[in-house]
Chains A and B, each alone.
Chain A
Amino acid sequence: MNKAVQKWAGISLRLVFGGILIAASIDKILHPVQFSQAVENYQLAGETLSRWAAVWLPYLEIITGILLILGIWVKAAAILNLGMMFIFFVAVFQAYVRGLDIHCGCFTVEGDETVDLWKILYNLLLAIGSGLLLMVYRRSGRAIES
């Protein structure tokens, strides 16, 4: 890949995913109880584990998002980002396949954001984008542009 293309692709992907992670974390941080219900509705983990996920995940999202935007520890942040996006995709996909009629809990903990085919496609794109981000930064922990 051309160096300049790689540089700008890296910056754009960092900003996009950093922004998505931070935007997704705010409502969860404000409403931990509702978010733990949203996690539990996916029926992937029991009640206790869902609650721990609700306590933990929003902060992992916001810290990873901030690091991506600032360009600090980018490789570590990109791996965490890929891990989260992959888990989100699996969660949404299995919910759809199992026919669970649930609220997504992706960006807001309540509202009309349901799990449908669009949501799966969107999450798949995010997972692929996260993979690209990691590919761009696979060689170094520092931002390429710095």
Chain B
Amino acid sequence: MGMFLTFRRIAFLLGLSLALGVAVNQFHPNGIRWPLLQPRWNSADAKAAVRFISADSAFVLHLQGNINFIDVRPEEEYQIDRIPGAVSLPLIKFYQSPQMLEQLDPGKPAILYCFEPGCKEVNTLAKELAHRQFREVLILYGGFSEWLEKGYPVEE
């Protein structure tokens, strides 16, 4: 009897904390929005490959136009300088409002970058884009620092 009561209490506490967590998260200004909590059952087939791209190749694509540059650095850094035409989308902003992706055309290739090579935020966001009908998802391998080193144009 005592054992059963303890397990019922544990189950209640697990449920209570989950309900509380979901409820608070819903109204939390920095909460994780619902689309990002939904499991992606059907998206396995739609998944695009995420590839790396050098600053040189990215610059060629930039000259040809028709590309989404996505700046994943904090917004303050984006305000200072950025690749011309880039959209600011730090990971934290994406979690708070995933619908921001709607301003981008998924038909165009997306090139994501942060400042340093190999930052985790870029990888996470790239995976999200690949699951959301983006045809081509590319990561600027050397980051914005390589773009600057090569002397490619920046917008201030």
Contact = CB atoms under 8 A, between A and B. Distances in A.
A31 B30 CA distance: 7
A59 B21 CA distance: 6
Contact of B6 (A34, A37, A40, A141): A141
Contacts of B10: 76, 79-80
Contacts of B92: 33-34
User: For chain A, what secondary structure do more than half of its interface residues adopt (helix, strand, loop), or is it mixed?
Assistant: helix
A47 B37 CA distance: 9
Contacts of A59: 17-18, 20-21, 24
Contacts, number: 84
B124 to A, nearest CB: 7
Nearest to B19: A59
Interface in B15-31: 16-18, 20-22, 24-25, 28, 30-31
A56 B6 contact: no
Interface of B: 2, 5-6, 9-10, 13-14, 16-18, 20-22, 24-25, 28, 30-32, 36-40, 91-92, 95-96, 120-121, 124, 127-128
Interface residues of A, number: 32
A143 to B, nearest CB: 14
A2 to B, nearest CB: 24
Given A59-B21, A77-B13, A79-B10, A48 B38 contact: yes
